[in-house]
Structure formats: structure tokens, C-alpha cells
Chain A
Amino acid sequence: MLSLRFAIPTANTLTPPKIKPKPGLVVQTAWNQTDLFPSLPKRNDYKLQAATTDLSVAGDIPAEEVVELPAELSRELMPKHVAVIMDGNGRWARQRGLATSAGHEAGVKALRELVELCCQWGIQVLTVFAFSYENWIRPKVEVDFLMSLFERALKSEVESLSRGGIRISVIGDSTKLPTSLQKLINEVEETTKHNSRLQLIVAVSYSGKYDVVQACRSIAEKAKDGQIQLDDINESLIEQELETNCTEHPYPDLLIRTSGELRVSNFLLWQLAYTELFFAQELWPDFRKDEFVDALSSYQQRQRRYGGRH
């Protein structure tokens, strides 16, 4: 493994220092750089934002408490859909001399906190990459543990999720999941389908490529049945056939990946066309409120041009 410490200073840093932003300054994070830009304007005009919207529906969801946003963030610039690749549970456990299962349990706690923050800060959709299609190759013991962890987490959280107005959707190839988990997922989706405060999409046994292939198969079936002509196949039709058709906002505004890895790993390929990417150095169980604020703050400073002009 080559050494990464250069005697000759370069413009780019391999391992960017973790710099906490001073009040008024914003940290912009490139894929593998961190830098301070003192010339960026202070966001004093959006220092405190209080949310007082009452989201109670038919008495099921309690009213929101008044929530103050951190000083760096602006409610108007909050992304509608945040996606997260929750990487680093295994490494977190190894660093502490614990079993991998302890890392996954810690990961669930971090997810719980993130869901709460998203609810408080007005994010409408949160998609998390819990288990990828490629993860089936992991040791059976670990896979079985993860499946039982999903079941336990769903069973224990469904009530509080319902009370909190959170809708759960699960995407991915569910045919490979244990039957009991498949049944539980269907029940939870059914129970929470009318909730509207936050939609939590959990990607389990998911592959971005297979999502596109299953959309292609579905379209081919429709074409075979004469429901559509080949000329009718367009981007909008593909979007409708993808598994993210369970939400009104299928395209994430922001993708966060933890543990410092700089890749997308077959997650939501079609959907990430214009998504802002943020790569955090922290391992997933250590990704808490401060780190989420950094990610959102970086997002809010970016100019999204969609190929057009500045």
C-alpha cells in the first residue's frame, strides 16, 4: 500500500482535516476535500427557524414541537429527499474490539436519530441503503443476524413510527428475504401507508442496476400485452416502473455516504442523476446531528444548474 503523505504540498488533500465551521463560515466538501471559503455570505438571516405546523391527521399524529434549526441551516433550502448509504458498522465494531453485530445495533440507533432529525427539520423523504444485493455474499451468520435485526427493529418501532406520522416503504428484491420478514414488511407498509410526515424508504436486497432491469422487464411485458407501443417508452415511463415509484419525490436531492468511501456502490443509479453527493469521513454509527448539519450545510451552499447556465 503506497504511503499517502506527500512531502511536496499539493492543492488537493487525500484525507481532509475535519474542520468545524466557524459561525458564519460554511464548509464546502468536495468528494475528497474540505476547505474553508471565507468569502461565502453569512446566513444570519436564517439563523432561527421555528416550525409550528400542526401535522395531526385524524388524531393519529401528535403535533410537532417548536423546533429550532441550527444556525447554519435554512428551512427554505432544506432538501426534500435525502438518501444515505449507511457504511461503516463493521469497521466501527472492529475499532472497539466488538462483534460486527454490535456495529449493526449501533447503526440502528444512529438511524433512529437521523429519522427524528429529518422529521423535525422538514425533510419529506429519507431513503437508506440498509442491505445491498451484493451483501448476500457476506457470511451466513452475519446475513442471518441482519435479517433478524430488521425484523426486531420493525416490530419494535412500528408503533412509534405510526405515532410519529412516518410512512415506511421497503424497496429491493424481497423474494430473497425470509418469509416472516416479507410478511412483516407488508404489514408495516400497510399500517403506515397513510402517514405523511416523513416517508422512510428502506432499501433491502436492493441493486440500482436490477431496479432498472426490472423496470425494463415490466415495460417489455406491457409492450408484449399491447398496453404501450415501443415509441411510447420514455424517461417518465421508466421512472414510473422503478421501485422508487412509491414516493412523490423519487430523486434524492442529497446523497450522504459515510466511512469515507468515495463511490455509489450500485445504489439508486437512475435516481442520482442530479443528486448532490456528500462523502463523510465518519463511520455510520458515529454519524450524528453535527455531521448531518455539516452535510445539509454543504448542500445548501451548492449551486444546482442541471446542465443549464449559472
Chain B
Amino acid sequence: MEKEVMSSLKMAGNILCSASSFIRKCIFGVLRVGPIPNHIAFIMDGNRRYAKKQKLSHDGAAGGGGRYDAGFWALMVMLLYCQELGVKYITAYAFSIDNFKRKPEEVESLMASMLEKFHLLDILVKRLAVRVHFVGNLELLSNELRASAMELTEATAAYSKSVLTICIAYTSRDEILHAVRESCEQKRIDLEFDNDDDNEIKLMKVEKNMYMAVAPDPDIIIRTGGENRLSNFLLWQSCWSHLHSMWVLWPEIGVWNLVFAILNFQRNKTYHLEMRKKEKEL
């Protein structure tokens, strides 16, 4: 009797999953009638508030940064949805240089959590054929974390279906500073070897030296957690991006939030294309 009940429940669960998967496929099919963004960037805000809501301990059941586990899975789910929709580039703001200002134990716990997730991330991105980049001032990370990041970047270099860029030890100003330094260094070398055809540093040269030169500019920047600011994220690349803020906390983000953001983007897509074209003409 109990077996029959369990089997019925399991069947009902499967039917519901199939039904929701079918509904999702239908919704995505409708979305694809309009323009799909090529690149979506996420500011993953709200993990700590979520953990407080769920009353997760500081260390978490798995030890070391359990409060960020839900955030990791939310990113993986978004990656899956974006791949299904046909969004090729996804960028996530995982850790800002400013976050080093937090309490040392919190920073350590977050770093430990990230290191723990590499193995899982490795399996998932290889399964989904996702190329991974880590951008930021990686010198600020521990040797272990940096080595794991480099290893994963190399291991996924051949994939091209999707590109996941994880911004870690990153701020946009640091990125621009790095690009300015590189541009000045290149100019100095050009002058030394009398190779200076152009008199001035051009915008394209500065852009090539950005960490984010691995991806095109984002079409949409989605920020969860209800705040309305860029927090030093993709300042250069966001100049024509559609900015979408939502109240939902990052670990709670779902398919409807993504659908809504894309619909909003589709309203203004023509304007984006026009302005990017004009920028190139000038």
C-alpha cells in the first residue's frame, strides 16, 4: 500500500516536473520570437540576507561558507536557463575587491566556499560545454584559488557553446586602471622602437586591455537584492546596457525573473543597437 502511494507520488512529481518543463519551453519559445540578449551580467546581491532569512549558520552544515551554497546553485540554474534560451555570454560578479573590507572570517569563509565549489563547477561546465573565464586582479587571491581558476580556464578553453565569466577580486575601476597602465606601457614600447604610427592612444586600444575583453558588452545587467547601483561593476561595458534591478534575493532568483528582465530588454533592443552603431561611427 505504502509502495503504491510512494509510486503515485513519484509519478505525480514527474508529471509536474514535465509539465513545468513544458511550460518553460513554451515561454522560452515565445521569448525567442523577439531578440534574445547575447550577454547577461548578474550582480548576485542578497546572499547574506537570504542566509539570515533561512537562519543558516556562519559556517554552514558543509563547513566553510554554507550560506553561499544556495547562491552557487542559483548561478548554475541561471546558466542552464540562459543556455536553453540561447544567451551565449553570462557574467557574474562573485567577489569585489571592496569585499576584502569585510570581516576577515567572512572573507575567509567565502574564499573557502569558492574553493570548495571548483570541483562541482568543473563537472557542470564540462557537461554543459561552457567555457569559463575568471577576470579580476587574481594576484589578490590565494595561490590555491588562483591555481584552481587557471586550471579550470585552461580545461574549458576549447568549449564554445556558452561562455561564463566570473568576476572575482574585481572592480571596474581596477580594471580600467589596469587597461590604462597597459596602454601607457604599450605606448612607451612603441615610442622606444619608433613604432608609433598613431600619435594618440585610441579608445579601441584601451578596450582591448580590459579584463572583460573576453566577452562583448552586456546587453542586460541584472541586480538582485533591490539596490539600484552598479557597485563598481562593468562601468566601462555598461554604458549602453539595459539595467534591471529586482527585489528578489540572489538565491531566490527564478525563471520568471529572468523572463521578465528579457521582456524589458526586448522593448528597448532597437535603441541599443542604434546607439552602439552610432558609437562606432563617431
Contact = CB atoms under 8 A, between A and B. Distances in A.
Q: Do A and B bind each other?
A: yes
Interface of A: 1-2, 4, 10-12, 14, 28-33, 35, 133-134, 136-137, 208-210, 212-213, 215-217, 219-220, 223-224, 230, 233-235, 238, 261-267, 269-270, 272-279, 302, 306-310
24 contacts: A1-B267, A4-B263, A4-B267, A14-B264, A30-B226, A31-B223, A31-B243, A134-B275, A134-B282, A209-B236, A213-B203, A216-B206, A230-B184, A233-B184, A262-B264, A263-B238, A264-B243, A265-B239, A266-B240, A266-B279, A274-B231, A306-B98, A307-B232, A308-B102
Nearest to B191: A224
A210 B204 CA distance: 11
Given A212-B206, A307-B102, 5 more contacts: A32-B244, A134-B279, A212-B180, A265-B275, A277-B228
Interface in B88-134: 96-99, 101-103, 106
Which of A208, A235, A263, A310 has its CB near the most chain B CB atoms (within 10 A)? Answer: A263
Nearest to B30: A2
A208 B279 CA distance: 12
A133 to B, nearest CB: 6
B187 A31 contact: no
Contacts of B278: 134, 137
Which of A1, A11, A136, A238 has its CB near the most chain B CB atoms (within 10 A)? Answer: A11
B229 A274 contact: yes
Which of B180, B263, B275 has its CB near the most chain A CB atoms (within 10 A)? Answer: B180
Nearest to B271: A261
A274 B235 CA distance: 10
B165 interface: no
A11 B256 contact: yes
B239 A208 contact: yes
A33 B247 contact: yes
Nearest to B222: A31
Given A12-B247, A213-B201, A238 B176 contact: yes
Which of B202, B229, B231 has its CB near the most chain A CB atoms (within 10 A)? Answer: B229
Contacts of A261: 268, 271
Interface string B228-260: 111110011011111111111000000011001
A82 to B, nearest CB: 14
A255 B226 CA distance: 16
A92 B168 CA distance: 43
Contacts of B230: 272-273, 275, 277
Contact of A273 (B235, B245, B279): B235
A65 to B, nearest CB: 33
Interface of B: 33-34, 48, 96-99, 101-103, 106, 171-174, 176-177, 179-181, 183-185, 187-188, 191, 200-203, 206, 223, 226-232, 235-236, 238-248, 256-257, 260, 263-264, 266-268, 271, 275, 278-279, 281-282
Contacts of B247: 11-12, 30, 33, 35
A2 B36 CA distance: 13
A261 B240 CA distance: 11
A134 B279 CA distance: 6
B187 A30 contact: no
Given A234-B177, A269-B235, A276 B191 contact: no
A100 to B, nearest CB: 17
A29 B228 contact: yes
Nearest to B49: A310
A37 to B, nearest CB: 10
Contacts of B227: 302
Nearest to B239: A266
B243 A30 contact: no
B45 to A, nearest CB: 10
Contacts of B246: 11-12, 30, 33
B260 A10 contact: yes
Contacts of B106: 309
A269 B239 contact: yes
A30 B98 CA distance: 23
Which of A29, A209, A262 has its CB near the most chain B CB atoms (within 10 A)? Answer: A262
Given A2-B34, A306-B98, A308-B101, A238 B240 contact: no
Given A277-B229, A309-B103, A220 B183 contact: yes
Contact of A233 (B173, B177, B238, B243): B177
Nearest to B272: A263
Nearest to B178: A233
Contacts of B223: 31
A216 B229 CA distance: 25
A260 to B, nearest CB: 10
A276 B229 contact: yes
Contacts of B201: 213, 216-217, 220
A213 B201 CA distance: 7
A262 B173 contact: no
A263 B235 contact: no
Given A12-B260, A263-B242, A272 B235 contact: yes
Which of A213, A223, A265, A276 has its CB near the most chain B CB atoms (within 10 A)? Answer: A213
A217 B200 contact: yes
B188 A224 contact: yes
A4 B262 CA distance: 11
